[in-house]
Amino acid sequence: METRKVQVTGGSTYTVSLPKNWATANNVDSGSTVEFHAEKDMLLLTPKRENGRTEGELDISGLEGEELRRAVMTMYVSGFDVIRLTTGRMAAEQRRTVRDATQGLVGLEVIEETADEMVLQDLLDSSELSIENAVTRMQLVALTMLEDAVEALVTDDDALANDVAERDDDVDRLWFMTSRVFRTVLRNPTAANEIGFPRETIYDMQSSARQLERIADHATKIAELSLEIDEIPETAAAPLRKLHTEAAQIPETAMDALLTADGDEAVERATQARLQMKTVDELARQVDTEIHGFDAHLAQVLGLVIDSLTRTGDYGTNIAESALQKAAPRP
Query: What is the per-residue pLDDT across 76-103, written as a single tens digit (0 to 9) for each?
Result: 998 888 999 999 899 999 999 999 999 9
Task: Supply the CATH number for residue 72's domain.
Answer: 3.30.110.40
Smallest CA-to-CA distance from 216 within 158, 139, 321, 162 is with 139
Q: What percent of the chain has pLDDT over 70?
A: 95
Is residue 2 one of the residues assigned to a domain?
Answer: no
* Same domain flag for 297 and 156: yes
* Same domain flag for 37 and 93: no
* Same domain flag for 69 and 175: no
Q: Report the pLDDT averaged over residues 135-156.
A: 96
Q: Which residue has the higher pLDDT, 330 or 69?
A: 69
Does pLDDT of 52 surpass 90?
A: no
What is the pLDDT at residue 151?
Answer: 96
* Same domain flag for 94 and 170: no
List, in sequence order, the alpha helices (H) in the chain. Answer: 20-25, 65-77, 92-103, 131-155, 158-187, 189-195, 199-226, 234-259, 263-275, 277-290, 296-327
Burial of 40 (0-12, 13-18, 19+ CB in 10 A): exposed
* Same domain flag for 41 and 68: no
What is the pLDDT at residue 34?
Answer: 85
How many Å apart are CA 37 and CA 44, to the nearest integer? 5
Does pLDDT of 306 surpass 70?
A: yes
* Same domain flag for 145 and 287: yes
What is the pLDDT at residue 197?
Answer: 80
Is residue 178 one of the residues assigned to a domain?
Answer: yes
CA distances from 135 to 201, 211, 221 (A): 12, 10, 21
* Same domain flag for 154 and 252: yes
Backbone dihedral region for residue 196 (phi beyond 0: left; psi -120 to 50: alpha; all else: beta): left
User: What confidence category does residue 50 fall into, taking pLDDT thresholds of 50, 70 and 90?
Assistant: low
How many Å apart are CA 124 and CA 79, to the nearest integer? 12
Q: How many domains does the chain have?
A: 3
Smallest CA-to-CA distance from 248 within 319, 156, 157, 304 is with 319
Is residue 1 one of the residues assigned to a domain?
Answer: no
* Same domain flag for 207 and 289: yes
Last residue of a domain, one of 90, 122, 154: 122
**Tens digit of each residue's pLDDT (9 = 90 or more) over 238-280:** 999 999 999 999 999 999 999 999 999 999 999 999 999 999 9
Is residue 299 one of the residues assigned to a domain?
Answer: yes
Q: Which domain holds residue 18?
A: 7-47
Q: Which residue has the higher pLDDT, 127 or 144?
A: 144
Last residue of a domain, one of 65, 98, 122: 122
| Mean pLDDT over each residue of the chain, to the nearest integer | 90
Task: Supply the CATH number for residue 291's domain.
Answer: 1.20.58.220
What is the pLDDT at residue 101?
Answer: 94
What is the pLDDT at residue 134?
Answer: 92
What is the pLDDT at residue 51?
Answer: 59
Does pLDDT of 126 surpass 70?
A: no
CB 139 within 8 A of CB 251: yes
User: What confidence category does residue 138 fall into, taking pLDDT thresholds of 50, 70 and 90?
Assistant: very high
How many Å apart are CA 286 and CA 198, to the nearest integer? 44
Last residue of a domain, one of 102, 122, 142: 122
CA distances from 109 to 66, 99, 325 (A): 19, 8, 36
